[in-house]
Structure 1
Amino acid sequence: MRALIIDDSRAMRSILRRIVTGLGFETTEAAHGQEALDLLHEGLAPDLCLIDWNMPVMDGYTFLTRVRDEPAWRSITLMMVTTESEQRQIVRALAAGAHEYVIKPFTPDAIADKLALLGLLPAEAGA
């Protein structure tokens, strides 16, 4: 399984990388949505994208909608991992095609539990 971590914070990318590599994922990182979109256009085929909302160049919501508009990428599981905690933002992201939504700060178990619910981990890995 391959995960694409999209966050403008190098520290947050590092935290997420440690969590998901510990769960068996190979990872690639992008500092903003446009960089991530470029990776997809170049042929990167992640199973999962972990997406921050607030980033320069292209925010996570725009990235999410661009991925959902492209039929070839519809099978990618998209999970927002962001400080945006307003119900309106959560509903907006889920309505646009996000599969899950995690609010920062989070625990490693919260990420594992969400991935298990999405069927990307064995159920016992997220327990």
Structure 2
Amino acid sequence: MGPEVPSAPPSASEPSAGAPWAGMTRIIACGEIDISTSGRLYRGVLQVLRRQRPTRIEVDLAGVTFLDASGVRALLMSRTAAAEGGCRLTVVNPSRIAHRLLDIVGLLPTLYPAALPLPPADFRQPRR
């Protein structure tokens, strides 16, 4: 299989200006992201950056069944290209395999900020 790129912005019923979706594009990747498909993901991100000029790209990895080092490299190269264009690229909904590999290589906090642990309870609540 491989990544499906580019994705569509939210439907017309979604709020636009000033809404969380404004300036954001979601790319949905599915199947195997390996040496034979990782280039498609990277080229897809570059295409989105050129055509849409978003301020934020989310790469949805929920449907990813396999991810290898070349897939991780494609994500990192995509993140760099996005940053150079003034865009922030993050990963959302990583599948179990994608989550595990990103955690093993130490990139989970970098690419998937939602994985950051919550601060200790005493830090979150005001002291009395």
Question: Please, what TM-score do these two structures have when normalized by structure 2?
Answer: 0.42
Between structures 1 and 2, the one with greater helix share: 1
Question: Please, what TM-score do these two structures have when normalized by structure 1?
Answer: 0.42
